Amino acid sequence: MDHLLILLIASAVIAFAFWPRCRKQCAAATKPHPSFWKTLLTTHSLNQENDMIDINPGTTLARLSITYKVLFTGFLLVIGVGLMMAGMQIMLTHGKADGKPGVSINDIVYSYYGNRSGSKLESMLNGSMKAMAPDEERFALIQWARDEAPAKDWPTKIEPIMKQYCVSCHNAEATIPDFTKLANVQKVAEVDQGASIGTLTRVSHIHLFGISFIFLFVGWIFGMSEYKLKWKLILISTPFAFLIIDVMSWWLTKYIPVFAWFTMIGGFGYSLASTVMIFTALMQMWLPREMWWPKWEQDETK
């Protein structure tokens, strides 16, 4: 919580340092300052009024030939299902990190920073593996992990517990760690340092390369919709910004747990932006104009 407070104060200071200065100078210069949007839109678009709906004649989604409507719809539907699957996968992997269902800040912290207060073996035995063995055996395992998992106890104390309660699932055939071998049990008995640099680099580059292509095509299709130019630009650019925030936050969380909040915000931000883009595109391709939401004024859409 302390960290969060520091973070908030730091953001406030940065916002204060950059924002009001221009306003003050411009007010002094009597001339009204053209808004950021107005400047951007009048220099980069044919639209002279920043409130106009952005329409590229001939290439709007509604006027697209059926061939491309079907092509784009197929793509958008598969991407939509893919996003939901990604969400489910997050629930199933990160969601369980703290042993409680649902994704919480602790899950993200445990996944990247690790649970420095104990080993993975311990946190799992207090979490989703709690029901697997009676308390007495669980405590024996936790005690062994806290004693830095000495090999001498393996044949007498630990292996029998593993054989009786754990190896029915944790064996060589399974995709989960094989607990018939001491080395594998010792690995989960080490204090959990979170994601390794190796894992983070691998996941980061796959994520950045892969997902940016999804956003490129979703944004490309959405770019042909009839939408207020300002909002169109915001919707098209936010997923990329949030993607960077998301990936950066994993690295920061590895060292400073409070950045887990950025992972949450990043993921939420780009899911929301892509959902809006996908729904808008599908709506404008297939529904009559009267049913569109938000409703555009008739004269604006001409």
Residue from 121, 195, 211, 282 binding ligand HEC (CB under 6 A): 121
Point out which span in 123-131, 262-270, 278-286, 288-296 binds ligand HEC (CB under 6 A): 123-131
Q: Which stretch binds ligand HEC (CB under 6 A): 17-25, 62-70, 121-129, 281-289?
A: 121-129
Number of residues that bind ligand HEC (CB under 6 A): 18
For the purposes of burial, counting CB atoms within 10 Å of the CB of 273, is it exposed (0-12), middle (13-18) or buried (19 or more)?
Answer: buried
Q: Does 142 bind ligand HEC (CB under 6 A)?
A: no
From 66-74, 122-130, 275-283, 290-298, span contacting ligand HEC (CB under 6 A): 122-130
Please say whether the dihedral angle defined by the alpha carbons of residues 290, 293, 297 and 302, taken in this order, is positive or negative: negative
Q: How many CB atoms lie within 10 A of CB 24?
A: 9
Contact window for ligand HEC (CB under 6 A) among 44-52, 59-67, 81-89, 128-136: 128-136
- Please give the torsion angle defined by the CA atoms of residues 39, 43, 46 and 47, in that order, rounded to the nearest 10 degrees: 0
Residue 240 has, within 13 A of its CA and on its CB side, a CA count of 13
Q: Is 172 in the site for ligand HEC (CB under 6 A)?
A: no
Residue among 247, 234, 224, 244 nearest 273 (CA)? 234
Handedness of CA 143, 148, 154, 159 (dihedral sign): positive
**Least distance in Å: CB of 174 to ligand HEC?**
8
Give me the sign of the Cα torsion angle 154, 158, 160, 166. negative
Among 64, 103, 124, 235, binds ligand HEC (CB under 6 A): 124
Cβ-based nearer residue to ligand HEC, 82 or 134:
134
Q: Does position 170 bind ligand HEC by CB under 6 A?
A: yes
Find the binder of ligand HEC among 62, 64, 108, 129 (CB under 6 A): 129
Question: What part of residues 180-209 is at the interface with ligand HEC (CB under 6 A)?
Answer: 188
Residues 62-101, mask of contacts with ligand HEC (x by CB under 6 A): ----------------------------------x-----
Question: For ligand HEC, which is the closer residue by CB, 133 or 281?
Answer: 133
Beta carbons of 178 and 172 less than 8 angstroms apart: yes
Q: Which of 64, 76, 108, 133 binds ligand HEC (CB under 6 A)?
A: 133
Choose between 62 and 125: whose C-beta lies nearer to ligand HEC. Answer: 125
Between 62 and 189, whose beta carbon lies closer to ligand HEC?
189
Residue 105's closest CA among 4, 211, 5, 208? 4
132 binds ligand HEC, rule: CB under 6 A: yes
Compute φ and ψ for 285, nearest 5 degrees: -75, -35
Give dist(CA 97, CA 81) in Å, integer.
25
Paired sense of beta strands 227-228 and 53-54, if any: antiparallel
Q: In three state form, how does the secondary structure of 59-121 look?
A: CCCCCCCHHHHHHHHHHHHHHHHHHHHHHHHHHHHHHHCCCCCCCCHHHHHHHHCCCCCCEHH
Q: In the complex with ligand HEC, which residue's Cβ is closer, 189 or 247? A: 189
Binding residues for ligand HEC, per CB under 6 A? 96, 120-121, 124-125, 128-129, 132-133, 141, 165-166, 168-170, 176-177, 188
